[in-house]
Amino acid sequence: MLSSLAITDADPLRWIVAGQLLDAKNRRVLQNAHLVYTRERIVYVGAEAPSAAVVNGKKTPDLALPDYTAMPGLIEGHSHVFLEGAELDIERRTAYLKQDSQTLYQRAENRVRTLARLGIIAMRDGGDNERVGLRLSRLSASKNRPPYMANVFSPGAAIHRRGRYGSFFGKPLEDHPDIESCVQARVSEGADHIKIVPTGIINFAKGAVVAKPQFSVEEIQQFKRAACAHGKHLMAHASGELGVDYAIDGGVDTLEHGFFITDGQLAKMRDRAISWLPTLTPVQAQVDNAEVMGWEGQTLDNLKRILENHARSIQEALALGVNVLVGSDAGSCGVAHGTGLLREMELLEAAGMSTADILYQATYGNHRALTNQHPVGSLEETFKPRFLLTKNNPLETVKNLALERVVLFDGAAESNAGIGLGDL
Please list the alpha-helical segments (H only) found in 119-240. Answer: 132-141, 179-189, 217-229
DSSP letter, residue 361: I
Cβ neighbours of residue 102 closer than 8 Å, sequence gap 6 or more: none
Q: How far is the CB of 347 from Zn ion (least distance, A)?
A: 16
Q: Tell whether residue 166 is a contact of Zn ion (CB under 5 A).
A: no
How near is the Cβ of 78 to Zn ion at its closest, in Å?
Answer: 6
Residues 6 or more apart in contact with residue 14 via CB below 8 angstroms: 4, 5, 6, 7, 36, 37, 38, 62, 63
Alpha carbon distance 125, 386 (integer Å): 20
Instruction: Give whichever of 21 and 324 is closer to Zn ion, judged by the CB atom.
Output: 324
Among 329, 344, 346, 414, binds Zn ion (CB under 5 A): 329
Task: Draw the binding track, 68-107, toward Zn ion (x: CB under 5 A; -: no contact).
Answer: ----------------------------------------
* Shorter beta-carbon distance to Zn ion: residue 165 or 380: 165
With CB under 5 A as the contact rule, which of the stretches 103-111, 177-185, 294-302, 329-337 interacts with Zn ion? 329-337
CB 248 within 8 A of CB 224: no
Which residue lies nearest Zn ion, judged by its C-beta? Answer: 126
Distance CA 136, CA 123 (A): 11
Tally of CA atoms within 13 A in the half-sphere of 182 that contains its CB: 25
4 or 167: whose CB is closer to Zn ion? 167
Which CB atom, from 84 or from 329, has the smaller least distance to Zn ion? 329
> Which one, 126 or 334, has the nearer CB to Zn ion?
126
Contact 163, 138 (CB under 8 A): no
Contacts of Zn ion in 106-165 (CB under 5 A): 126
Toward Zn ion, which CB reaches closer, 313 or 328? 328
Of 55-63, 199-207, 242-250, 325-333, the segment contacting Zn ion by CB under 5 A is 325-333
- Which listed range, 134-142, 266-274, 309-317, 323-331, lies at the site for Zn ion (CB under 5 A)? 323-331
Q: Which of 68, 20, 149 lies closest to 409 in space, CA to CA?
A: 149
- Applying CB under 5 A, the residues found at the interface with Zn ion are 126, 329
